[in-house]
Amino acid sequence: MLLAGCGFHLQSALTTPPEMQLTYIDSVERNSLFHRELRSQLKAAGVSLVDAPDEATAIIAISVDETDQRVLSVSARNVPTEYEVYYSIEYALTSGEKSLMAPQFLTLTRDYTHDETLVLGKAREEELMRGAIVKDLVRIVLKQLSSL
């Protein structure tokens, strides 16, 4: 009763529009972290993924799928001390000639400090951070799809 009073609700399972019964993912980068995670989460949600667009009842078109890092700050010796990792995607959902979702552009960022004496550890930290960003992006995309 205490949880219900505070507004807490359990997250329900992903529900997709009926048009997504057979879905094709049209991606500019088929081996990206985002593409692989999206496929995995859609399969886990019970969406049937097809290998050809002519077999699909819906197409998720990913037109932008890019990730990189930028320098945020430098030391007095002009050595980078802080980086920002970002991941950007743009996607749309169509069913035949009908647009179910207009193109959506999302960018998520995380920043981290850099110590030149801990290069290997920081490389792993950046890799883990990028993976966390991808999981968050997929979660946002799936939530938007389930609201259709």
28-39: per-residue pLDDT in tens?
A: 899 999 999 999
Answer yes or no: is pLDDT of 75 > 70.
yes
Q: What is the pLDDT of residue 5?
A: 56
Instruction: Give CA–CA dist 38/56, Å, rounded.
Output: 17
Q: What is the pLDDT of residue 8?
A: 55
Domains belonging to the chain, first-starting first, are: 17-146 (3.30.160.150)
pLDDT tens, residue by residue, 58-74: 999 999 999 999 988 98
Q: Percent of the chain scored above 90 by pLDDT?
A: 58
